Amino acid sequence: SDPTVLLDRADGVATITLNRPDKLNSFTVEMHAALAEALAAVAADETVRCTLMTGAGRGFCAGQDLNDRAVAPGETMPDIAESIEARYNPMIRAVRDLRMPVICAVNGVAAGAGANLAFACDIVLAARSASFIQAFCKIGLVPDSGGTWTLPRLVGPARAAGLMMLGDKVPAEQAAQWGMIWRVVDDEALMDEARGLARHLATQPTTGLALIKQALAASATNTLDEQLDLERDLQRRAGATDDYAEGVRAFLAKRPPAFTGR
Ligand code: T3D
């Protein structure tokens, strides 16, 4: 059978494609394992300086494959906290911990954990026909995969509550207007645009970008004083990179910089 996740590496970009198109790339135990393996391979590969995540077919990801949660009346549901702990939470942590920018090209519907996986990425592009759905409330669940953390920060608590309690389908345009994503791209241009952005980012100061990612994540819970201290510490590390020295030299010489990511 086809691999449930595809991993391609070229030009400093790792492209991870969720690949269960007939089931809108919904998560099975097998697809989780394949995604975890791909994310680990990317993390361990020094040549990769940007990750691009997308989905095969007409959907991005429909969240948990609910076929694996079918129980007859009277039967007991498995403890799904184990699934969260063993698979969904490590997935979100792995994306957050990648020391490089992660672009998500949302090619179609992103529902449940599929939507929240997208929101865990650093820069989200969406096809004009794509949509985002906090589908959890419609089946009696709570948004997971970090959604209750990312969404209020992206759209504010009022909109987050409406999105999570009503489960409406949010079209890509509205998602962009509300600040849930970076931008909308015409369907046929999505992958070219996403690849171009990824290749550009793969030539940029990777360590500096990874430190920006850390600063943004910490800002959600830090006080201003804590964040000022963190900026000092991260700037110490950024300032010690080869890329900072190169950036300054290139600026002063009025030439384009040649960054190595270190
Ligand atoms: O249990 C745990 O481990 C806890 C973790 C939970 C994480 C979660 O993500 S919970 C949320 C689960 N996801 C959903 O509730 C979304 C369910 N899907 C939908 O609401 C709709 O499919 C969509 C809005 C995403 C797309 O609608 P539409 O009309 O474009 O497509 P469709 O016809 O509904 O779906 C196409 C096929 O994919 C269809 O299969 P078929 O009939 O052609 O054989 C459909 O059943 C299948 N599919 C879509 N989503 C899922 C799915 N099959 C299994 N699980 C799915 N989540």
Q: What is the pLDDT of residues 188-199, one digit of tens each?
A: 999 999 999 999
Q: Is the CB of 110 under 6 A from ligand 1?
A: no
Residues of the chain with pLDDT under 70: none
Distance 142 CA to ligand 1 centre (A): 16
Which ligand 1 atom minimizes the distance to the CA of 138?
15
pTM of the model: 0.98
Q: Is the CB of 159 under 6 A from ligand 1?
A: no
CA distance 46 to 7: 15
Structural domains of the chain in order of their starting residue, each with its CATH number = 5-201 (3.90.226.10), 206-252 (1.10.12)
- The pLDDT score that the predictor gives to residue 204 is 98
Which ligand 1 atom minimizes the distance to the CA of 58?
30
Residue of minimum CA distance from atom 1 in ligand 1: 80
- The pLDDT score that the predictor gives to residue 1 is 80
CA distance 185 to 81: 36
Ligand 1 pocket check: which of 18, 19, 23, 88 to mutate, most ligand atoms within 8 Å of Cβ? 23
| Sign of the alpha-carbon torsion through 148, 174, 59, 35 | negative
Residue of minimum CA distance from atom 55 in ligand 1: 65
Q: Is the CB of 111 under 6 A from ligand 1?
A: yes
Q: Is the CB of 57 under 6 A from ligand 1?
A: no
Which ligand 1 atom minimizes the distance to the CA of 109?
25
Hunting for tokens 């990777």 — which residue is that?
206
Q: Is 141 exposed, middle or buried (0-12, 13-18, 19+ CB in 10 A)?
A: middle
